[in-house]
Structure 1
Amino acid sequence: MAARAALRRRFRATVPARLRLLRAATLLLATAVAVLLPAAGLAANGTWDSVAGRDAPRTTSAADLNLALNDMDAQAANILLSNGDAGKGRLRTPYDKATGFYGGARREIGHDLRTLAVAAQGDRADEKTVENLTDDFAEYQELIGRALENDGHAGGKPSALADYRKATDLLRGKLLPESRTLVASNDRAFDAEYTAARSALSAQLAATTALSLLLLAVLAHLQWYLARRFQRILNPPLLAGTLCTLLAVILGAQMLTSSSGDLREARRNAFDSVVALSRARAIAYDANADESRYLLDPDRREQYARSFLAKSQQLYGIRGATLGTYDGGLATSWRAYETDHQDLRFTGEFRRELDNITFPGERAAAERTVETYAVYQRDDRRIRALLTAGKEREAVEFCMDWKPGTSNAHFGAWMAALDKATDINRVHFASSVRDGRSAVSDLLPWAVGLLLAAMALTALGLRARLAEFR
């Protein structure tokens, strides 16, 4: 009898202590998961704020600046080409179009410089680059202004051309390299933010999974202990708490994996293509400007022909191609691609996009971009052939007119196709940002609420058992 009484006293002393220990472990682990998930959610929202509000806009603003600089210089050349002699012999439609585009590009540059100045705050290297761009652009505008003023005087074309040469040399020597530096710098900053955020999400998912598995193990052990000690199969509140915990874990893991997946979709699948296509657009405008410079400045025609070919290779690279062989190489390599989409015999920005086809309609838009680009390239050879044949006026009119079938009309069709491909990726970038925010706002409250319910149910389930020892 004494031995049985001693065993009973030991049972009454040990069991409640074990239950309290298991309850404490359960509540502590549940609290840790309930704290970790909101912290991860807040960090994810902070990442989306940075991505959508800072990283992507400043990268695209730098790319837009590069494009607008090229466009402004091209339109200045077009104004000089189409103005005739102080307006005598002016090509009216090309001149009016060029004047309007020139003003629009200048306004766009001012807007982009202001945006980039704000974005560069805190980064000394970018701040210095924007300062240099602003100063150099002021000098560039002065040179272009002088060129246009001289061109307004009878016989002023030689002086206008001399000023334009200085301006375009400044553009190519300083402004464009500086703007490309900003594109690369801002894109690298975005990529670093993306890499750090994905790593953090992976670490948070691993920590949440480990703590959650440990929590579920403690709950399972607690259920087993109660069944063994109290001869009951199940403890309903504790079972409900376990189910709440399991559901909370699933929702929390889904929030983290969805955030990580949406971030990858936004950056790699969508924005990488936006960057490639934005670069392509800026290069396209620069190549188009080289055509106008080629016609405007006879003494530099060889230089501008080489520059046009170099930009063509940046867009659609063909090993060893010259201006004379480029069209044939383009046609051959494109037919090979159309036969087999894995047969990519070319390099450049269009290759980057075709290597990253992700969304519905994107491949068709990208292919249409290359097809319209091929038409524009053939127009370039016609311009050079007309000039070689001594038909300079016809070459200028074909290059600058906007009638159907002319080079500018085909350039516009090319840019429209490129913009469509870019817009597909921009739309999916925005959609990924929305989905990433929704994953946090929709799932996090449920996960935390279920964890709090699990904690309450665990305490409730043990309350009656502990009351038996009072």
Structure 2
Amino acid sequence: MTVTVTPPVRREVSVSRRVRTLAGLSLLSLALLLAAILAGAASTGAGLRTIGHDAGPQVLATTGLYRQMSEMDALVAETLLLGREYGPQQQADLTAYDQRRLEISENLLKAYRLALDNPTEQRTVEALVEGLGRYERLASQARLLDVQSGHTAGRPPRPVVQAYQRATDLMHRELLPKAYNLTLETGTIVRRAHDAERSTTWLAGTAVIVIGLLALVCLLVLQTYLTRKFRRVFAPALVFATVLGAAGLVTGAILINRQGQALEEAKRRGFDSVLTLTRARAISKSMHGDQSRYLLDPLRKDTYEHTFLDKARTIAAVESTSLPDYQSKLQANFQGLLGGLTGEDRARTFAAYQRFQQADARMRTLSGEAAIKFWDGELTQAYESYDKVLEELVRRHESDFERAIDSGDGALETLWRLIPAGLVTGALLILVGVRPRLREYR
């Protein structure tokens, strides 16, 4: 009787091959986990850079164009209305006019840089630059005629008013609409970045969890196999590798989620709020300019009253048929640009806005020098108080925006510093853990 004994070599080769296979799968899964984490971090980080450091701040700068241009036109109307006895105040207005012009130039330059890959936006910026040049020539002509007339406070001579009409028509019919459209166009860059990165963040987080769990399964299977085949309770290096893999999974998922939350907060609580409130400030400044134009040009007083009402409805919308009707029906449950405010912010803003509207209603019951004095005193003070409330809200949301971006940047920095080191260390520990077992088969 012949007994055939199977050589043990085949079994040894099979075991070593399985160890190598399981170790290779564990290393591959850790590599894929690292790749998923870094890819998700890079994508979300790109969104944070777009919104927080690149397009976002530049879009907010272009939003200021509407307000600055409205203020330029309002300052021209104010200097023409005041007369020679208000010489120091006229000079202060002209200094402010020059400052607004400088700010507009800087913001147009930012807008042009932002629009380098968009010919339509470039043409809009170029048209604004050319149009502002024409506006300044017309405004200078009105100022020159006003100085030559030497009139006292009140409506200037008809040639002065006609020259200003050409300037303000250019501003409101051509330049301000283009400035508003430019903000809408550049704002799409931020919206697209936000929408794209929101979906990318979700996919990246899902991929990290799935691949991370796969890596842990591979490590546990490897540990279990070695324990059963070599009769050892555990391999310390593999235990530490498993711990590092689990830490990489949890930390990576948390940091990517933190980046996504920072992106969402920066967009909604920061960027969107600042954009809305800045637009409300710009329109409110234009409303204040309509008040001075109402006094400057009686022949167009009905037109300026109507445009004032349209802008008021944009700021705080209530059902009304005329400006007096609007001002009498103005209630705290308004909608419009400021309709999204809540709590104390809403109550405080409404109170300031209502005082501004009440002062406007009072001005329109006066005439001549009395109306001008009231406009220059109580009405302007009411507007400035209201504008200060809006400015404080803008600054607060700007701070929220900056904090959210800083939080996202901090998460990204932590991720790049810790995760790769941890997972690479885990990979090395896998090699350290299986090497002694493989040496037994040499």
Q: Quick check: TM above 0.5?
A: yes
Determine whether 1:220 maps to 2:220. Answer: yes
The number of residues matched between the two structures is 437
Counterpart code for 2:20: R
Match in the other structure for 2:389: 417
Structure 2 counterpart of 1:395, from 371, 374, 383: 371
Cα distance in 2 between the residues matched to 1:131 and 1:99: 25
Q: Which runs of 4+ in 1 moved over 4 A?
A: 1-5
The residue type paired with residue 213 of structure 2 is L
Verify the 8 A CA contact 1:223 1:235 in the aligned structure 2.
Answer: yes
TM-superposed deviation, 1:461:
1.0
Residue 257 of structure 1: CA displacement? 0.4
Distance 2:328 2:364 in 1: 17
Change beyond 3 A, Cα 1:395–1:231: same
- 1:112 maps to a residue whose letter is N
SS of the residue corresponding to residue 229 of structure 2 reads helix
Residue equivalent to 1:465:
437
Question: What corresponds to 2:334 in structure 1?
Answer: 346
RMSD (Å), alpha carbons = 1.9
Partner of 2:301: 301
- Please report how far the alpha carbon of residue 367 of structure 1 lies from its aligned counterpart in structure 2 after TM superposition: 3.1
Kindly state the Cα deviation for residue 54 of structure 1 after the two structures are TM-superposed.
2.1
Q: Distance in 2 between matches of 1:103 and 1:75?
A: 10
| Aligned residue number for residue 102 of structure 1 | 97
Aligned residue number for residue 119 of structure 1? 114
Does 150-159 or 422-431 show the bigger shift?
Answer: 150-159
Letter in 2 for 1:351: G
The one-letter amino acid paired with 2:240 is A
Give the conservation status (yes or no) of the 8 Å contact 2:320–2:329: no
Q: Equivalent residue of 1:6, what SS?
A: coil
Mapping for residues 304-383 of structure 1, pairs under 5 Å: 304-330=304-330, 333-334=331-332, 345-354=333-342, 363-383=343-363
8 Å contact kept, 1:265–1:432: yes
Indicate how the Cα distance of structure 1 residues 467 and 327 shifts in structure 2: closer, same or farther if over 3 A, else same.
Answer: same
Are 1:203 and 2:203 counterparts?
A: yes
1:324 is paired with a residue of what secondary structure?
Answer: helix
Please state whether the residue corresponding to 1:152 is helix, strand or coil.
helix
Secondary structure in 1 matching 2:254:
helix
User: What is the match of residue 146 of structure 2?
Assistant: 151
- Provide the secondary structure at the position in 1 that maps to 2:276: helix
The 1:165/1:6 distance shift into structure 2, 3 A limit, reads same
Q: Which moved more, 1:190-199 or 1:309-318?
A: 190-199
Q: Report deviation, 1:328.
A: 3.0
Is 2:125 the partner of 1:130? Answer: yes
Q: Which residue of 2 aligns with 1:451?
A: 423
Between the aligned partners of 1:461 and 1:173, the Cα distance in structure 2 is 76
> 8 Å contact 1:366–1:421 — kept in the other structure?
no
Residue aligning to 1:162: 162
TM normalised by structure 1 equals: 0.89
Q: CA deviation at 1:244?
A: 0.7
CA deviation profile, 1:222-264 (whole Å, cap 9, x unmatched)? 1221222222232221111100100011111111101100000
Query: In 1, Cα distance between the equivalents of 2:171 and 2:285?
Result: 13
Give yes or no for contact 2:62–2:183 (8 Å, CA) kept in 1. yes
| Number of the residue aligned with 1:13 | 13
**Structure 2 CA distance for aligned equivalents of residues 173 and 110 of structure 1:** 20
CA shift at 1:283, angstroms?
Answer: 0.3
Amino acid at match of 2:11: F
Shift of 1:353: 3.8
**Most deviating of 428-437 and 224-233:** 224-233
Query: Greater CA deviation, 118-127 or 277-286?
Result: 118-127
Q: CA deviation at 1:2?
A: 8.9
Is residue 319–residue 326 contact of structure 2 (8 Å, CA) maintained in 1? no
Q: TM-score, normalised by structure 2?
A: 0.94
Structure 1, residues 145-189: CA drift from partner, whole Å, max 9, x if none? 000000111277211110111111111111001000011111111
Q: 1:463 is matched by which residue type in structure 2?
A: R
Give the Cα separation in 1 of the matches to 2:321 and 2:124.
35
Return closer, same or farther for 1:368/1:97 CA change in 2, 3 Å cut-off.
farther
Match for 2:19: what amino acid?
L
**What pairs up with 1:44-123 in 2 under 5 angstroms?**
44-83=44-83, 87=84, 90-92=85-87, 94-123=89-118
Rounded Cα–Cα distance in structure 1 between residues aligned with 2:132 and 2:67:
14
**Runs of at least 5 residues in structure 2 that lack an aligned partner in the other structure:** none
Matched letter for residue 174 of structure 2: K
2:108, 2:412 → 1: CA distance? 35
In the TM superposition, residue 7 of structure 1 has moved relative to its aligned partner by: 7.2
Say which SS state the counterpart of residue 135 (structure 1) adopts: helix
Indicate if the aligned counterparts of 1:251 and 1:444 stay in contact, CA closer than 8 A: no
DSSP-derived class of the 1:465 partner: helix
- Residue segments in structure 1 that go unaligned for 5+ positions in a row: 335-344, 355-362
Deviations 1:94-126 (A, max 9, x none): 434433322222222222222222222121010
Q: Distance in 1 between matches of 2:425 and 2:104?
A: 56
Residue 321 of structure 1: how far off its partner (Å): 4.7
Question: Does the CA contact (< 8 Å) of 1:318 and 1:326 recur in 2?
Answer: yes
- The answer as to 2:399 corresponding to 1:427 is yes
